[in-house]
Structures are given as C-alpha cells and as structure tokens.
A and B are shown apart, each in its own frame.
Chain A
Amino acid sequence: MHGGNIFVCVFLFFRLFRLFALRANFSSLSLLLLLCFSIITKNTSQNLISSYIMSLWVDKYRPIELNQCEHVNASVANHLKELVKDGDCPHLLFYGPSGSGKKSLVLALLSTIFGPGAHKTKVEQKTWKIDATSTRKIEVDLMTQSSNYHIEINPSDAGYKDRYVVQEVIKEMARSRPIDAQGNAGYKILVLTECDKLSKEAQHGLRRTMEKYSSACRLILIADSVNRVLEAVRSRCLPVRVAAPRAEDIEKVLYDIAAKEKLTLPPQLCSKVAVFAKRDLRRAILALEACRVANYPFKETQSVQTTDWELYIAQIAAEILAEQSPKRLLQVRGRIYELLVNCIPPTLIFQTLCFYLSKRLDDEMKHEVIRWAAQFEHKLQLGSKAIIHIEAFIAQFMATYKRKLISAFA
C-alpha cells in the first residue's frame, strides 16, 4: 500500500466513510472504519494511523520482549533468543502468512538485542537524493521509522525507484555506524517490510549491498510470500518460518487481552472470534475490539461483525448468483470499481469473491470458480488494469454458471 503519507490516509478515510456510512451504526462507525482499514494496510500505514489517531489493541498488546511471546510463536521466540545471545545476528528472513506475528517477533527481537532503546522510535518522512546515473539525479521520498539501533522502511512504497532506496539506505547506515564505549564499531539493523514486493532489480542490488556492507548492518527481511524473494537473497539469510497461530492459541491471546482490559469474555464468544479469524491474529484482535465497541458487556450469542468491505463483496457474490446478464454485469462492475478506488487490493477481491461464490455452489461449480479465479488473477499480475481482469472473471463465471443452470433445467 502507498501508506507513506498521512494525507493519503485521511483522504482514504473519508472515501471509506462515504462508502460505508449507509450501513454501519454511528457509534461504532469510526472504529469500524479504522478496523477495516488496518486489516488491509497492515504494516506501516497501520502504525501511522494508530499513532496519529488512537491506539488499537493490535498495537497496544504487541509483545515487547521475546520472553513475552507465550501463546503464539513461543518456540520460534526461544530459538531467536538462542540465536542472538552473544549479541550478534546473521541476516534474517521472516516469512509466513499475514497476521502470523512476524512483525511483532522482529520488534521483540530488536529489543532483546538492543534493550528498551529499540522501542524509542521516531517516524519521519525522509528524502534521499540519489545519483541514478552520472547525469541524472532522482529524489525519493519514503517514510522511515527508526531508533538509535535500527531503521524500518517499506521499500515497496518507493515503487519503481525501490532499488535506489535500498542501496542508498544501506550505504547511509554504513556511514553512520554506532561506536560503543570501547571504540568498537557496532552495527545497525535495517528492517525491510514487504520485501516480497521489491522488484527483481532491487533484490539483486540488495544482494550486492548485503555482502559489501555486511559488517556495518544486518538485514531483517519480512515477506508474506517467500517465493517472490530471489533465491540469491534467500540463501544469504537465515530463514525463519512463522506459522499462523491456530484457533486454540488465538483464544489464549484474546483472553489475555480481555484480562488486561478488565473485560469478561464469555468462552463461546471467544472461540467464535478465534474461528472467524481464520488463523490471522490481527484479524482476531481487531474483531474482538469491534465486538467490544458494538456491545459490552459481551453476550455469548453476540455476532462477530465481518468487516464492511467483506460484507460488500459477499453481497456482490450474492448478486452474481442471483442473476447472470449483461445488465447485472454492469451493475457489479460499478461496485467492484468502488472497492478498487477505496484501495481494497485486487487480489483480496479475487480471494474473497471466490470464497463467497464457492460457499453456495456444488463441487463441480466450485472447481470452475477456482479455476477461473486463478487464471484471471494471474493475468492481473501481468497486466495493469485490475478492473478489467476482475470483470473478465465475473463475466466468465456468469457464462459458465448460466450454461450449467440451463442444462440442468433442460
């Protein structure tokens, strides 16, 4: 996401407001907006929003030390402690599905290495002036979050200029190496989030700089999809797989939070939230907070509110199943477009649509849905206009489905 800019956030905020104002009840409105937004944007922009507007539970109850990872990722945390016990660490690559706790582990790891100072961070918008070639200078703006010991950036925010950013930041870090009391040069850690979204060129550049400046800085890479990280980069890092927590573990975390917030959480509701989360801890905590806002004291039978964009897609799915015609296609197109302008990632639209369509179909049609979704989502990655590919998928589905319905009744 281009979450680098608070103005963008505010702008999106109002966009979302317009889209969902009709259906959310007013008291919970602002929080829900924030929730659905945070689910999508995850990393940087979520930090931004929360620090500017309010603190969400997902941020408030992040583990601060590796010791505090009790319920989820406990064994990984233990191994990491072992890894850095003599104060050094190799380049690391954290991978695993979103919401599995990669970022929290990294932050906890930093404070285990550097002490509490690693949590004293400042957020700033930095501008780098880079000599792209001997004749041309380019400027790159990027949001950074840094302490005395580390810098965190999301280089994919820089778009096609990402490769310059990566190299420049590392060079700069090498120049300003921390020196300790004995006059020994230490190292800094560069945390690169969403490094699977880096271009190939940037990754190649990364690999070069990784070797050249390996004494001055260590890299921590975070990726959802490790396949998109080049083998050459991967082989230079120690890979750390972070599995998404299971429902049981999520429940423990939820009880913990409830206890800290002095809430009584009925077991039934807790497990409902945990199941709803689909092994995504962020989703679980956000949902619990939404439940809290919607209704407290909690009721066992209280429903877990799906985020609004998800409801919106579920509704689209229902419309597609109800009628297959050019007219309906046009209507649906308008709705998809609305989702896209509100920065819901196209891949997420594909996944969610696929999920809600499949829910109400027999096995044979399920195969069809997944087949076409996989095909058109792939094309989307090669192309550039998301709306075209999503629409093509829906048209294809409508045609297939209608044909099947007709043959069934014939």
Chain B
Amino acid sequence: MGGEEEQMDVDHQHHAHVQAKKKEPWVDKYRPKKVSDVAYQTEVVSALEKAMETHNLPHMLFYGPPGTGKTTCALAICKQLYGPELGKKRVLELNASDERGISVVRGKIKSFASTTVGEGVPGYPCPPYKILILDEADSMTNDAQSALRRMMETYSRVTRFFILCNYVSKIIDPISSRCAKFRFKSLDGGTMHERINFIAKGENLQLAEGTLQALEHVSAGDMRKAITLLQSAASLFGPELTGDRIREVAGVIPDEKIEELLQLCVAGDSQKSQALAEDILKDGFPCLQILEQFGYYLADSDLLEDEMKAEICLKLGEVEKKLVDGADEWLQLSHCISIATIVCSTKPEK
C-alpha cells in the first residue's frame, strides 16, 4: 500500500517545519541600554551617572529584590564605557548558572582579573580597567567569597568588581565594606504600567482593562516576572490578553475560592472546608500557593480577631517549612485547614 513511504513523507514535512528558531526573551529584548533609561531608581541612577563622568568607578555592590534593574544597570554601565566590541574583552559576567565554586574563583576569575588591559577604542571612554560582574552573588559559598575578597585587594588597579545580590547580608563583610553600595527598590505600579505598555506596543499586544493591574498584582514590583508573564501569556493565548489570562499563567487561585475557604473555616465547618481545600489542590494549584494566598487574605480579613490570625499564620509558617522539606501537600494542607477551623471555632477567652 506504500504506507511506509507516505509516512516518511509526512515525517519529512514536519521535520522541515521544525527548525530551531530562537525567540529572544522579552526581558533581554526590552532591557534598557543606557543607565539613564533605568526607571524608578532615581537616586541610584544619578549617583551612577556622576561616577561614570569621572571614569573612575569604585567596586560596587548592587542589592535589592529581583527584577528591579540590577543586572540591567551593570550591563548598561559596561556598554556605555566600552561599547559593544571592547566590552567582550573587558567584561566578564558570571551568574548563578555558571559554576562559581572556589576552584573557579581561583582559576577563571583570577586569570581574568590579573591580566593587564590593552588599548581602548575610539568613541568610548574606555577607562583602563576591566569589569567583573558577579550576578546573583548570594548563591556563592563563603569560601568562594573569601577567595574573591583577596582578589579584590590584589587586582583592584586593573579590575573593578560589581557584586549583584538580593540580600546584602549574604555577602561577607570584608567584601561589602570594600564596595560602594546601591540599593534598588521594588518598582511601583505606575512605572510598571508604563514599561508594560511600551512592550505591548512593540509586540502588538492588546491589553484589556485589568491586565496591567493583574500584572502589577502578581509580580509585586518584580519587573522581570511581569515581563516573563506577559510573554508566556502572549505565546499561550495569542496577542489579546486579559487579567484572567495573566492570572492563569501565573498560577494564581481565583480570589473567590480563597474567600470561600476562609469563610468555611470561620463557620467551623471542617468537612466542607477540607473538601474545598482538596478541590483547589486537585485543580492543580500548588499547596504553597494556596497557603500564601490564604495567608494574605487572612491578614486583611475582618472576620477574625488578631490573635486568631496570628495563631493561624504561625501554623502557615511551620507548614511552609515542612513543604520545603518535601512533606506531602495534601496532608499538610489538610492539617493547616484543620488548625484554622479549630482556631476559628474556639473563641478566645479574656
């Protein structure tokens, strides 16, 4: 019947169709190219621009929550100082996805830091030093950091270190005290809306009413998260987006369900509250997500006294730890809901 041949043909067509077209992530595509384009971080930006005018930068430590422009700033500085060509030679960027154990610090980083710089190129300031960017430095071990510290001392003449992290406390003292520190703030709603609108225009997206608010809400000041969600939603649902579609890709539980859950707990109906909690879990929402939203909702609710809230939140914290340890989601969730029901039904005695 020639079935085999036909089959081959079909395969072939499909094959030709499937090429590795690399889609650039929007977070990179829409990364501000200049320091002055970084929004909202006004103090940081003006301080950095002043420092760049002198062409003599100190070692720097950027810290703040994720998606607030730390990496963007570091990359923009390099671009402005060296331009695209020389930048390849003068800048080394290592982030958490690169191996950065102590052996790498002693090998790769050391050899980069110790080499002398060559000629500059016309059109760019090209100060006579190299820049080493250590992104997401919180994940480096203390040993690796100590080794790094020695290098900062030895090679500071020819190499500047930019250390980027979420928490300064995770960086050992001797390093942070050698750096000029810059704190990045969580972005506010207005800035996020502006930026998202800009991207939506560039990508021909139609954002329905409420989309921006949903993005702002679920990403909580993390611009990277907002942009990634926008791209995910667009690739999954096409260019017409709504708040619900954003919430769907973000894996957020509808508020009504959480509200109902809390009301059942307050009513002391353990059977129904357990059933609902299990139902939400079966809808595929991760237990941690349920607890997190439940916690937020609880904190704002006026159905409960403060002491009761505190008691439940204490339990939420405990359970979160257990989940991270790998405990079963259903058992932990049931336990939490059971505690919430008990707490709500025993009126505090004064």
Judge whether A100 is part of the interface by a CB distance below 8 angstroms.
yes
Interface string of B170-198 (1 = CB under 8 A from A): 00000000000000000000000000000
Given contacts A90-B23, A215-B20, contact A181 B15 (CB under 8 A): yes
Judge whether A334 is part of the interface by a CB distance below 8 angstroms.
no
Residues from chain B with Cβ under 8 Å of A240 in the complex: 236
Residues from chain B with Cβ under 8 Å of A149 in the complex: 18
- In whole angstroms, what is the CA distance A24 to B61 when docked? 69
- In whole angstroms, what is the CA distance A241 to B250 when docked? 10
Given contacts A90-B23, A374-B327, contact A241 B10 (CB under 8 A): no
A-B interface, 6 closest residue pairs, ranked by CB to CB distance from nearest: A96-B284, A115-B14, A374-B335, A378-B327, A117-B11, A381-B326
Judge whether B204 is part of the interface by a CB distance below 8 angstroms.
no
* Chain A residue at smallest Cβ distance from B228: A235
A351 touches B251 (CB 8 A): no
Residues from chain B with Cβ under 8 Å of A117 in the complex: 7, 10-11, 14
Judge whether B218 is part of the interface by a CB distance below 8 angstroms.
no
Interface string of B17-31 (1 = CB under 8 A from A): 111111100000000
B235 touches A370 (CB 8 A): no
Q: Pick from B104-112, B141-149, B285-293 the stretch touching chain A.
A: B285-293
Q: CB < 8 Å: which of B12, B19, B236 contacts A79?
A: B236
Given contacts A227-B286, A370-B335, A370-B338, contact A87 B328 (CB under 8 A): no
Identify whether the interface residues of B are mostly helix, strand, loop, or mixed.
helix
A178 touches B15 (CB 8 A): yes
Judge whether B342 is part of the interface by a CB distance below 8 angstroms.
yes
Judge whether A185 is part of the interface by a CB distance below 8 angstroms.
yes
What is the interface of chain A, defined by CB distance below 8 A to chain B? 79-80, 82-83, 86-88, 90, 95-97, 100, 113-117, 148-149, 178, 180-182, 184-187, 207-208, 211, 214-216, 225-228, 232, 235, 238-244, 278-279, 347, 350-351, 354, 363, 366-367, 370-371, 373-375, 377-378, 381-382
B238 touches A82 (CB 8 A): yes
Judge whether B281 is part of the interface by a CB distance below 8 angstroms.
yes
A79 touches B237 (CB 8 A): yes
* 5 CB-based A-B contacts, threshold 8 Å: A86-B21, A87-B19, A88-B21, A114-B11, A347-B331
A370 touches B334 (CB 8 A): yes
Inter-chain pairs besides A86-B21, A116-B10, A371-B338, 19 sampled, C-beta below 8 Å: A82-B238, A83-B235, A88-B18, A88-B19, A97-B284, A180-B18, A186-B19, A207-B97, A208-B99, A225-B287, A227-B288, A235-B228, A238-B249, A239-B249, A241-B248, A243-B283, A367-B339, A367-B341, A370-B331
B334 touches A116 (CB 8 A): no
- In whole angstroms, what is the CA distance A374 to B281 when docked? 16
- In whole angstroms, what is the CA distance A371 to B271 when docked? 15
A180 touches B15 (CB 8 A): yes
- In whole angstroms, what is the CA distance A225 to B342 when docked? 27
B286 touches A351 (CB 8 A): no
B19 touches A377 (CB 8 A): no
Residues from chain A with Cβ under 8 Å of B20 in the complex: 88, 184-187, 215-216
B236 touches A82 (CB 8 A): yes
Among B96, B327, B339, the most chain A Cβ lie within 10 Å of the Cβ of: B327
Size of interface on B: residues with Cβ below 8 Å to A: 57
B96 touches A232 (CB 8 A): yes
Q: CB < 8 Å: which of A241, A350, A378 contacts B284?
A: A241
- In whole angstroms, what is the CA distance A185 to B288 when docked? 40
Residues from chain A with Cβ under 8 Å of B335 in the complex: 370-371, 373-375
Residues from chain B with Cβ under 8 Å of A235 in the complex: 225, 228
Judge whether B13 is part of the interface by a CB distance below 8 angstroms.
yes
A363 touches B18 (CB 8 A): no
Q: CB < 8 Å: which of A83, A227, A243, A371 contacts B329?
A: A227
Judge whether B314 is part of the interface by a CB distance below 8 angstroms.
no
A97 touches B282 (CB 8 A): yes
Given contacts A87-B18, A211-B97, A350-B331, contact A366 B270 (CB under 8 A): yes
B16 touches A374 (CB 8 A): no
B338 touches A366 (CB 8 A): yes
- In whole angstroms, what is the CA distance A350 to B332 when docked? 12
B286 touches A95 (CB 8 A): yes
- In whole angstroms, what is the CA distance A228 to B287 when docked? 11
Interface string of B310-350 (1 = CB under 8 A from A): 00000000010011111111111011001101100000000
- In whole angstroms, what is the CA distance A100 to B323 when docked? 22
Given contacts A113-B18, A181-B15, A374-B332, contact A241 B237 (CB under 8 A): no
Residues from chain A with Cβ under 8 Å of B13 in the complex: 115
* Chain A residue at smallest Cβ distance from B320: A227
* Chain A residue at smallest Cβ distance from B325: A381
Residues from chain B with Cβ under 8 Å of A244 in the complex: 282-284
Judge whether B156 is part of the interface by a CB distance below 8 angstroms.
no
Judge whether B98 is part of the interface by a CB distance below 8 angstroms.
yes
B22 touches A241 (CB 8 A): no
Judge whether B263 is part of the interface by a CB distance below 8 angstroms.
no
A208 touches B97 (CB 8 A): yes
Residues from chain A with Cβ under 8 Å of B285 in the complex: 241
A374 touches B322 (CB 8 A): yes
Given contacts A180-B16, A214-B22, contact A225 B338 (CB under 8 A): no
- In whole angstroms, what is the CA distance A16 to B17 when docked? 48
- In whole angstroms, what is the CA distance A244 to B282 when docked? 6
Judge whether B114 is part of the interface by a CB distance below 8 angstroms.
no
Chain B nearest CB from A32 CB (Å) reads 26
